[in-house]
Chain A
Amino acid sequence: MLITTTNTDEIVSAISNHVGDNAALITIGEHTEIDVTQLISELNASQTKFMGGIFPKVIHGNSILDKGIVINTLNNLESMFLVKNISTKDYTIPKVVFSKNHDYSLFTYVDGLTSNISHYLSELYENYGMQTNYFGGGAGSLSLEQRPCVFNSEGVFQDAAVFAIMKMSSRIGVKHGWSKVDGPFIVTKAEGNIIKEINWKNPFKVYKEVVEAHSGKTFTDSNFFDIAKGYPFGILKDDAECIVRDPLMVNDKGELVCVGELEVNVLVDILNGDKASLINAAKGAAQDSIKKASAPRKAILIDCISRILFLEDNFDKELTAITSTIEKNFDNISIGGALTLGEISSYGEGFLEFYNKTVVVGLFE
C-alpha cells in the first residue's frame, strides 16, 4: 500500500487498517513531509506493531517516489528487535527459538551509512544461521549525510538496525549485472570502507589507469563519481556473482572511499556494466525469486540507489523488467520496496552479505 497523505492521523489510520493485528513494515521516502517522531508516537498509541526506515526513494508497483510511504504487512510476526551501536559493535543479538518444521524470514533495515554493517550481518548469521532467510537494505539519505533513519516503537535512530523475524517462507533473487573489465587486484591495505592500497600501490592510480583506458574518459577534480558510478569493484567469490563495492569518492591521499567495507587482502575486479546488462540482471533476480515460489502474497524490492544514478531515465525499464516478470507469474501480488544504500541477503542460502549496486527481489508467501 502507498500512502501519500502527510496527515499523521490519516497515515496511522491507513496503516492500522491495512495491517490489522499484523505488524507493519513502513518504508518512507526521505522527502516525505512528515514528522517521524510524531508518527511513531501515534502508532504506539494505536497499538500498531511496526518497524521501518527512511530511504532515498521508495518503490510502489512501477513507480519510484521521492515522497510517500509504502506499507507492507509483516504476517506471522515472531519477534521484532532494535539493535543500536552498530558501528561500535557494542550489542548482543537476542536469542530466538525457531521451530524445526517452519520456514522463517528475517527482514532488516540498517543505517546504510554507518560502519561495521558486515559485523552486524555476521552476528545475525552466527546466531540464527540457516534457520531463516535474510532480506533487507541500507536506509539513509541520498545526501550521504548520516542521520536517524531506522525506527520502531522506541524511536528513530542512526547507527542502528531494526529486524523482524516472521514465520513465513520467502524466495530471494540477487543479481547485479556488472562484469569484469580488469583484475584480479589485491586490496593490500584497507580500513573499513576505505581502500588505501591496491597491489601495494596508490589505489586511485591503479583504478584511474584501468578506468580511463576502458572508458576513454579522463578523471578531473570534479568528475570522480560521474565516471566511477559505472566502474565499481567486485569482490571475488567462487562460482558466484561477485559482491559489488561502490567507489564513492577519492580523498586527498588518493584513497578510494566506498559504500560498504572491504577486508585487507581481498581480491577485487574492476567492473563495468551497460544499461542492457543491468536491466537483464534485474530481470534475472526476479526470475530467480519466482523459481521456487508457489503462492507469494507480496514482493519486496531492494534496489540500489546508485543503479538509478547510473541508469537514469532507463531505470523505469529495470523496474518494469522486475515487476512484469513477477506479475506474469503471480496475479494480484503487491509490489513495494525501496531504493537503498546497500542491499542485504544470503547469497544462495549461504553466509550473509552486504551488497552495493545490486537488486534483491524477495517474494513472501
Chain B
Amino acid sequence: MKIENHILDILQLYEYAMAIGKSLDYKESCDLFLKLILKRKNLNAAWILEPKGKLLHSTYAIPFGKEISIKKDQPISEFLKTIEFSKIVPVDSIVSSISPIPIDKGNATIFNLEEEGYLFLYSKKDNLSNKDLSQLEPVIKKFTINLKACKALKEQEQLLHNLEVQNQELSDYAHMVSHDLKSPLRSVDTLAAWLIEDNKDKLDEHCSTQLDLIRSNVEKMDALINGILDYSAIGKNQVETYKIDLNLLLKDVLNMMEIPSHISVNMPELPTIIGDKYRLQQLFQNLISNAVKYNDKPKGVIEIGIEEKEQFWQFYIKDNGKGIDEVYFNKIFKVFEKLENIEGSTGVGLSIVKKIVDLYGGKIWLTSEPGKGSTFYFTLKKKSNGEA
C-alpha cells in the first residue's frame, strides 16, 4: 500500500508538471496549472501577488475577487520575508489584507516565486501539508520559470509591436510630408515659369540665370521628394506576385531610360521569376541608371548577369565606370547618402534598391575598384513572401 501511495504521489506530480509550460500566455499558464491544483487538492482559491516597487499587485486570481494594489508596509514586508520557499499559515489579518477574496479563516499556503512574486493557495480546511509543500517544490519551480518565459515573450511581442508601429508611423510621415511638399513646389516652379514667360524681353541675363537656377533646384527637389515617396511606399502594401519574364522587363526598363549612345548594355537570356513588375522595374532601373550616371569612360559597358542557386536567383550588374572606394560600400545604401553631387542624383536610389531586395528576402553587396568600375550583386528568393 505504501509503494502504491508513493507511485500515486509521483504520478500526481507528473500530472502537475505536464500542465506547466503548455502555454506562453500568462493567464492561460496560471489557469492550466492552478485550476488543476485547486481541483485535485480541493482548494478554494489561488492568487499571485507581485511586488512592483513599494506596492504589491495581484497578477492572477481565481476566483477573480477584487484587484489588489497595496502598499508593502512593514508588517507585510516582514511577513513576506519569512517565506523562504514555502509556508503554510493560518489566515490572519495580514493574509486577509492581501487577499483578493474576503477570507477570515482557513489556511493559506504561500510559495515564493522570486521575481514573479508570491503564489497563495487558500483552503477553508487544512488540505495542504508540509509533505505536499516538499513534493510540490520542483513543480512550483517549473511554474516560476514558465511565468518568467510568459513575461519575456510578452515583452518581446510588445517591443516588436512598438517597432512595427514606429516604422509604420515613420513611413506614413515620410509619405505625407513628401506629398504635401510637392504642391508648393509645383507652385514655385509654375510662378518661376510665368515670370520667365511674361518678362522674356525685360529680364537681363543675370535675372534669367537666377530664375533658371530656381527652376533647376525645384526640379532637384521634386526628384528628391519622388525618391522619398517611392522609398516610403515600398513594403507599405501587400502586393500580388506573379510570373515575370525578365527579358521583357529589362527591355522596357532600357527603353524608358534612354541609354546614351556611348554606353552599351549586354545581358544574357534571362529567366522568368516570381515577383511584381513595378518593384522589379524600380530595382533594375536604379542600378542601371547608376551604372550609366557614374560612367566616365568614352566607351561605357554595362553587363547584366544571372546565376541560378538552389533557393534564390543571384544577379549582378557590372560597369566600367568610376568605381567606389571600399570605405563607402555600406554608406551608399543609406538614404540621402551620395558620394558626389551629380545632377539628377538624389541619394535615394540605392536605398530603394536595398529595401526592395530586403523585401524579396535577398541580399545586396558590391565589389569595386576605383577607376575601373563596380559590380553590384543581389539575390532574390525564388519563393518570396509576396509582400512588397
Contacts and interface: CB of A to CB of B under 8 A. Distances in A.
Interface of A: 100, 122, 125-130, 184, 186, 236-240, 263-267, 347-351, 353
A126 B44 CA distance: 11
A264 B36 CA distance: 11
Contacts of B44: 129-130, 349-351
Nearest to A124: B63
A66 B62 CA distance: 40
Contacts of A353: 39
Interface in B110-151: 124-125, 127
Contacts of B15: 186, 265-267
Nearest to B42: A350
Interface stretch (B6-14, B71-79, B245-253): B6-14
Contact of B63 (A125, A238, A347): A125
B159 interface: no
A107 B135 CA distance: 37
Nearest to B63: A129
A126 B12 contact: no
Interface residues of B, number: 28
A78 to B, nearest CB: 17
B64 interface: yes
Contacts of A186: 11, 14-15
Label chain A's interface by main secondary structure: mixed
B63 A263 contact: no
A130 B7 CA distance: 33
B101 A130 contact: yes
Contacts of A126: 62-64
Given A129-B64, A130-B63, A267-B12, A237 B45 contact: no
Contact of B42 (A122, A127, A263, A348): A348
A129 B41 CA distance: 16
Contacts, number: 73
Contacts of A238: 12, 40-42, 127
Contacts of A239: 42, 127
Contacts of A236: 8, 12, 40
Contacts of B35: 122, 351
Contacts of B31: 122
Contacts of A240: 42
B43 interface: yes
In this complex, which of A130, A239, A347, A351 has the most chain B Cβ atoms within 10 angstroms of its Cβ?
A: A351
B38 interface: yes
A227 to B, nearest CB: 26
A103 to B, nearest CB: 14
B102 interface: yes
B134 to A, nearest CB: 15
Contacts of B14: 186, 265
Interface string B1-38: 00000011001101100110000000000010001101
A238 B62 CA distance: 20
29 contacts: A122-B31, A125-B62, A126-B63, A126-B64, A128-B63, A129-B62, A129-B64, A130-B63, A130-B101, A184-B11, A186-B14, A236-B8, A236-B12, A236-B40, A237-B39, A237-B41, A237-B42, A238-B12, A238-B41, A239-B42, A264-B18, A265-B19, A266-B15, A267-B15, A349-B44, A350-B38, A350-B42, A350-B44, A351-B43
A127 B40 CA distance: 20
